[in-house]
Amino acid sequence: MNFLMALIINGPIKSFCYRRLQYLSSKFQMHVLLNEMKELAAQKKVPHRDFYNIRKVDTHIHASSCMNQKHLLRFIKRAMKKHLDEIVHVEKGKEQTLKEVFETMNLTAYDLSVDTLDVHADRNTFHRFDKFNAKYNPIGESILREIFIKTDNRVAGKYFAHIIKEVMSDLEESKYQNAELRLSIYGRSRDEWDKLARWAVSHRVHSNNVRWLVQVPRLFDVYRTKRQLANFQEMLENIFLPLFEATIHPAQHPELHLFLEHVDGFDSVDDESKPEHHIFNLDSPLPGGWLEEDNPPYSYYLYYMFANMTVLNHLRRPLRPQAPVLQYLYYLAQIGIAMSPLSNNSLFLSYHRNPLPEYLSRGLMVSLSTDDPLQFHFTKEPLMEEYSIATQVWKLSSCDMCELARNSVLMSGFPHQVSGATGVLRRGHRAAPGLPHVPRATACAQRNHAAPRPPFGPGAATCPQGHRAAP
């Protein structure tokens, strides 16, 4: 970590990386000027293949807000008509039916509307993460969030499972859209994983178009203040020990063992605008010695999660970059970056300032994602909404859109039937179903762009049948 920080502030390295990034942007512009018409002509020659029927993966989307607001409204109204007398909540030891819950709010199904739900982000959420978090509560009531979009509640997450399955059905109907939905593990207790797996298995929440990512909110300070955790080591054990047990002794955790077959990876989430009070260095205490009520720094979380995941991956074998140095490192290593322009536009960064088109032109592995359709989108296909708006605002070509789709497939954890998209370089125009509709000239430029070679040298990669990327 100290080495990376030293690189970031090193003057000569900053200058070198900045010049290389400028070179990559200029090189892309030259490629567009020389090959844009060829790309369009090449795309038109491909039979039965266009942007609508190539694979696209939503690489960053939260399961609790994967539906749009109209979908959630219809679902709640339907539940009020069919399950009005079902016990859904316990308040101060007293059981409450769905009817009684809404009676305490003086609401009926007729009163509900999209405006009443009030879950959509607006101008008031910009740089206000607290107000954005409040949008997760339909009608401003946390009890409705618990009933309808939680996995661990009085109805064992039945409603949440049903609405997730409806979203899955929509994805399957679209055929070419996939998603990596994020579920939360908090690390407060050792049985969280088993409860989550039991929810997924018992409700059969499964689809070939969906894989799971597990997000770990960085909320140790909250749990420590409430005396729910003794130290950071306990949080790590709650997160990772059940996974090691299910891997080594699957018979002891049969549901978790089955659930993990559909989990791609981990994510670490929190309000990134919050200042950090500590720096991770050699003097930082070990997890067992972190007894403070302050949150450990982001790098501390990542290091110990990475250490545990490395061992776990070995057992299971069969940041958005701002600085020139880090950005160039992301380019060289082709590290995937999932970007959500509409989400950022409502929270932290206006749409026109988003660096996605710049990253794309420089050859970074970027993809479009939705983040929270419940808060930011209006249509039944939020991922297509992202592509549509990005295309209009940044004047992306069909080839640019297909390249973003290609990146999303390569970044995802879907099996080879979907992620085998790299074959487009070998198969030329006769792309197999699901492979990105990226013309050979662009694919060659991508290969030449990302080819690991000395920074200053002739090593220009040639492409099949003599095609060459722009100089």
**Per-position DSSP letters for 349-367, written without gaps between them:** S-GGG--HHHHHHHT--EE
3-state secondary structure of 203: coil
272 to 119, 131, 155, 218, 350: CA distances (angstroms): 21, 15, 33, 10, 17
Cβ-contact 177, 171 below 8 angstroms? yes
Q: Where are the beta strands (DSSP E) in 76-145?
A: 87-91, 94-97
Written as six digits, the tokens of 219 are 């909320």
By C-alpha distance, which of 343, 357, 369 is closest to 272? 343
310 to 150, 178, 195: CA distances (angstroms): 30, 27, 24
Q: What share of the chain is helix, strand, coil (3-state, %, to 5)?
A: 55, 10, 35
Written as six digits, the tokens of 158 are 């039945």
Cβ-contact 348, 126 below 8 angstroms? yes
Cβ-contact 363, 24 below 8 angstroms? yes
Rg of the chain over CA atoms, in angstroms?
24
Q: Which residues does 25 contact at the CB level (< 8 Å), separation at least 6?
A: 358, 361, 362
By C-alpha distance, which of 405, 322, 392 is closest to 366? 405
Question: pTM to 2 decimals?
Answer: 0.77
Each residue's pLDDT, cut to its tens digit, for the chain (471 residues) gives 678 878 888 889 999 999 999 999 999 999 999 998 998 888 888 888 888 888 899 988 999 989 988 999 999 999 988 888 889 888 888 888 988 888 888 888 888 888 888 887 778 778 777 777 777 778 878 888 899 999 988 899 999 999 999 999 999 998 899 999 999 999 999 999 999 999 999 999 999 999 999 999 999 999 999 999 999 999 999 999 999 999 999 999 999 999 998 998 898 887 766 777 778 888 889 999 999 888 898 889 999 999 999 999 888 876 345 578 888 888 888 988 999 999 888 887 888 889 999 999 998 999 999 988 888 888 888 999 999 999 999 999 888 989 999 999 988 888 766 555 443 332 333 333 444 555 545 554 454 454 443 333 333 333 333 333 333
